[in-house]
Structures are given as C-alpha cells and as structure tokens.
Amino acid sequence: MKAMVLYDREKPFRLEERPDPHPGPGEAVMRVRAAGVGLTLVNMRLGRMGGSLPRVMGHELAGEIVETGEGVTAISAGDRCAVYFYLTCGRCRWCRGGRETLCENFAGYVGGHRDGGFAEYVCLPAENFLPIPEGLSDEAAAVAADAVNTNWHCMRERARIGPDDAILLIGAGGGVGVHGVQVAKLFGARVIAADVSDEKLDLARRWGAEETINVRAVDDVAEEARRLTGGRGVDAAVDYVGHGETFTAAIDSLATSGRAVVIGVGTGEARFDPTVLVRTERIVTGSRHSTRAETIETMEMMARGAVEPVIGMRVPFTEVETIFDALKSETLLGRGALTYP
Ligand SMILES: [Zn+2]
C-alpha cells in the first residue's frame, strides 16, 4: 500500500510503498476512504502529544472494513466505519463508567502511538471502529470523529449550555470551532465567535454565530464579550486555542455561575483570582475529546443533517502537506479533508 510516513518532525512526510497490513487477534483492517486534518495533527507532529517515529499519522478517518482478526465479532468485512481516536483499555473505572477519555491505562492516540490513516489501509483494535449510520458520507463520518464529537461532549457535559445561554467561542473559525458554532446552536445558545481574521469570523457567522470579535482588532476580548452581553458576561466560554492568554480571556469573560472550558492544547498559564470564583461560582475546567457513545450520537445527528461538515480544502492524501501549510499559516477555513484512490 501507499503510505505517507513521518521520519523527522521537522521534515516533510515521505511517500512510501509498504506491505498491506493484516489484523492480529482482536484487530481489524480498514480501507481508508476519507480523512480530516486539523490543528491536533500539527501538535501531534511536533511531538507534543507523545508517540514515536517513524509514524503514519492520521486519526480522523472513515472507510470500509476489509479484514477482521481472530475473535472479532462486532464488525465484519464490508462494514463502513469511522475510527475512534483514543487507545483505551476498556477495563478501568473510567472506561467502564462511560468516560473512557480519562482511561487510567491510556495507550495513546491513533496516528501518534500507533499507525493511522495517511495510508491506503489502517490496522487497529476492533473497538476503535464504529459503524457509520445510513445516509452519512465517509467524509462527514471522518469529521464527526474528532471535529464534531469533541464539541458534542464539550457543550453537553462540560459547558452544559442551554437555550438561555450566551457562549463565547475562542477560535470559532477553526476546524473544531466552526463545528462548535453549529453544536452550540443545537442547544439554542447565542453564539459570540472570536478569531484572528475576518475571513474566519465570516465563516463562523455563516454557520450561526450572532456576534463576532476579531481578537486582533480589540484590546481585551473579555471586555468585548462583556460589552456584547450588556455587561453581564457569557454563561460559557470555550477556548479552542488553549494558550494561557486565551484561556484567561475565557475565564474573565464569564457571568456569574459561568463555565470556562478549554479544549485546545496551547502554551502558557492562565490566571484567575480564586476569590472571584468563590463570589461567582464560576467553573474553570477542560473537556477531553469524546466517548465512543458520543461519537455514535454525533454521527447520527449528522446523518439527520443537524450538523454539517465544513470543509475548507480537499486534496489527495499524498498531498497532505499542503493542508499542514494552510494550518500553520492560519488560512484554512474549516476542516481539511483528504481523498483516497
Ligand atoms: Zn481504561
């Protein structure tokens, strides 16, 4: 099979011919039909999420199962599946309790700690393949499995938003953020989108944001969010960027009892005053990806058209480098997508 292999974190992927994988016990092999590409992969490529080289990256995947290993009964050849990103144990208290992204025996990420899908085939534990519902395209299923399900978990379980809420999304024009706008609208919230360019803010507005903040055009994002809510502040703020500075703005923008949730993995430390938390019962927390159940729910919602994939760029998987370039220059609008032969 053809595969794009990373040997050096500073150098381009190498297109290689590799033997087709065959599943061991408990595993399955999928022919990859679609992949999504976003900022997580930039972090992963730099080694910020661990893992070793050489590596075939790519975790936001969908395709068709071609072979299953010994003992696999839940899926079979011919099934269309999306890939679950995390390698979890299935046995610890968090896995059994339906919060498997907190797994005590976490074994890492597809495409970081184990070869992923920037290749024609991917071999993974059978539990990492989730059947795609009728009516959902491969590309939409791939995007569901990271760019959308992350928002479903965040909005429902962590930000806990409702129809009476105003929510600030920092990085709303990015690949995860623009789907966050749509998911927040499902809960009926009023969305204030913040991002670094007018192009990204236009995109967020097109998908439902009522108000926008260009972070490069204002002195203080939190103050602007406060102004847009009549001085009250927002009921929830989600930070897709995750720098100390952006998350501090998220916390400072909150109304009484507001929730600040960080999703992005950036650098630096956020600041907050503990006495303000006491006085206002603000909640400062994080949101970690999505469970399998939430991923299935996400695909079902998307199959009904409740959330649509927003693809800003589409290239053959052998040209994935061009999407990384667009991500680095902050010019990609929405998600990048890969096509396969
Ligand atoms: Zn576990």
User: Hey, what are 269's tokens?
Assistant: 């430390």
pLDDT tens track for 169-217 = 999 999 999 999 999 999 999 999 999 999 999 999 999 999 999 999 9
Distance, CA 174 to ligand 1 centroid (Å)? 30
Query: What is the average pLDDT across 312-339?
Result: 95
Query: What is the average pLDDT across 230-249?
Result: 97
Q: How far apart are CA 179 and CA 307, in angstroms?
A: 7
Which helix (H) or strand (E) segment is 250 a member of?
A: helix 244-252
Query: What is the average pLDDT across 88-109?
Result: 97
What phi, psi does 122 have (nearest 5°)?
A: -135, 135
Residue 255 clears pLDDT 90, i.e. is over it: yes
Distance, CA 87 to ligand 1 centroid (Å)? 9
**What is the fold of 160-286?**
Quinone Oxidoreductase; Chain A, domain 1 (3.90.180)
What does the DSSP assignment read for 61-95?
EEEEEEEE-TT--S--TT-EEEE--B---S-SHHH
Q: Are 56 and 3 in contact (CB under 8 A)?
A: yes
Q: Are 306 and 166 in contact (CB under 8 A)?
A: no
Distance, CA 113 to ligand 1 centroid (Å)? 16
pLDDT recorded at residue 55 = 98
Residue 32 clears pLDDT 90, i.e. is over it: yes
Distance, CA 305 to ligand 1 centroid (Å)? 32
Distance, CA 94 to ligand 1 centroid (Å)? 6
Distance, CA 59 to ligand 1 centroid (Å)? 19
What phi, psi does 104 have (nearest 5°)?
A: -75, -25
Parallel, antiparallel or unpaired: strands 121-125 and 129-131: unpaired
Q: What does the angle CA 260 – CA 241 – CA 219 come to, to the nearest 5 degrees?
A: 80
pLDDT recorded at residue 29 = 98
Distance, CA 338 to ligand 1 centroid (Å)? 31
Q: How far apart are CA 314 and CA 268, in angstroms?
A: 33
**Homologous superfamily in CATH for domain 2-147+290-339:** Medium-chain alcohol dehydrogenases, catalytic domain (3.90.180.10)
User: Hey, what are 298's tokens?
Assistant: 């996400």
337: left (phi over 0), alpha (psi -120 to 50) or beta: beta
Residue 330 clears pLDDT 90, i.e. is over it: no
User: Hey, what are 327's tokens?
Assistant: 């991500």
pLDDT recorded at residue 338 = 98
> In the chain, which segments carry CATH 3.90.180.10?
2-147+290-339, 160-286
Amino acid at 157: E
pLDDT recorded at residue 293 = 98
Query: What is the average pLDDT across 70-95?
Result: 98
Which helix (H) or strand (E) segment is 213 a member of?
A: strand 211-214
Distance, CA 268 to ligand 1 centroid (Å)? 29
pLDDT recorded at residue 191 = 98
Distance, CA 105 to ligand 1 centroid (Å)? 5
pLDDT recorded at residue 271 = 95
Cα-based distances in Å from 138 to 80, 131, 214, 298 = 8, 11, 34, 14
pLDDT recorded at residue 331 = 87
pLDDT recorded at residue 34 = 98
- Pick from 176, 123, 147, 139: nearest CA to 61: 139
Query: What is the average pLDDT across 150-156?
Result: 98
Reported as a pLDDT band with limits 50, 70 and 90, residue 339 is very high
Q: Residue 339, class by beta-carbon neighbours within 10 Å (0-12 exposed, 13-18 middle, 19+ buried)?
A: middle
- Pick from 149, 134, 24, 128: nearest CA to 82: 128
